[in-house]
Every structure is written in structure tokens, then in C-alpha cells.
Amino acid sequence: MEKTLVIVKPGAIQRGLIGEVIHRFERKGLQLCGMKMIQLTDEILIEHYAHLAQRSFFKRIKDSMMITPVIVCCWKGLDAVHIVHEMAGKTNGREAAQGTIRGDFSVSVQENIIHTSDTLENAKVELARFFSNDEIFDFEQSGLNFLYANNEI
């Protein structure tokens, strides 16, 4: 089973959407293995968004991500990285399909509710960035046989 990172961004916190975001992943059948509220720092954002460091909007992203604390979550499931990323929808909320988190709750490319890992490799790096080993829990989720066929798990 894969593990992946979700960050519930400050805009979602301010709008009271934490429960809605978590609820959608739970309803899908993903297992929550770690969750905490943290205040992001300039240092961690420079590392996390290093691929955007040379872009003109980089400072705006960093400033936006530090307005309030964020909720970081570790979700687990078969193909979890792909599932979570698809459930988030396109980065630009105006272009995201209805039924996705961004499509239902966002009208912005920046204030787009959540960050999700886009590859398994990035998920591993990002989870290590935000969680220590003792903050991610592995336990048997009851009812797996109602989520997956016996040859899938």
C-alpha cells in the first residue's frame, strides 16, 4: 500500500473546510496514518517549493502558505498517490472538474485548498519532510475486504 502527503492549506483552514477535505478521503476508503497542525516556515517552504523558486510568484506562494498553520496528513491505500492527486483536481480551481476538491471549493490557481504529492517518489520525500517516523502509524484498517478484492491486498 502506498502512502502520500496532503497539506490542507491556509485558505481551507480559514474557510472551515478541514473536515470536508478529510471526509472525502475517508469516504473514498483511504486510511489516515498521520495528521498534525504545523506552522510552515520560510525555510521549509523554500525546500518544499524549490522547483518554483525562480518563478515570479514564488514569494506570493510562500506568504500565502504562512498566513495560518496548515494541516499535514499521511494517507494510505492502494495507488494512494494517484487517487489523492486525482481527487484534488487540476491546480487551477477554475479549471478543476466538479466533484474534485479544487473543482468544488476553489476558484484560484494559488488558493486551491490542498497540496498533494504527484508521484510516489515525491510522496516519500514530502512525507519525510513533514513527519518523523514515529508520527506515521501503521495499523490494520478493519473492513479492508470491503474496500479491495482479496487479490488486491
Is residue 23 annotated as a catalytic residue, yes or no? Answer: no
Q: What is this structure's pTM?
A: 0.94
List the alpha helices (DSSP H) in 15-57. Answer: 18-28, 42-48
% of the chain at pLDDT higher than 70: 100
Centre a 10 Å sphere on the Cβ of residue 47 and count the other Cβ atoms it contains: 13
Q: Which structural domains are found in the chain, ordered by start?
A: 2-40+70-143 (3.30.70.141)
- Note the pLDDT of residue 52: 85
Show the cell assigned to 109: 490557481
By DSSP bridging, strand 114-116 and strand 2-8 are: antiparallel
More confident residue, 58 or 95: 95
Catalytic residue among 48, 82, 85, 115: 115
Average pLDDT rounded to a whole number, residues 110-130: 97
> In 3D, which of 130, 132, 136 has the Cα closest to residue 43?
130
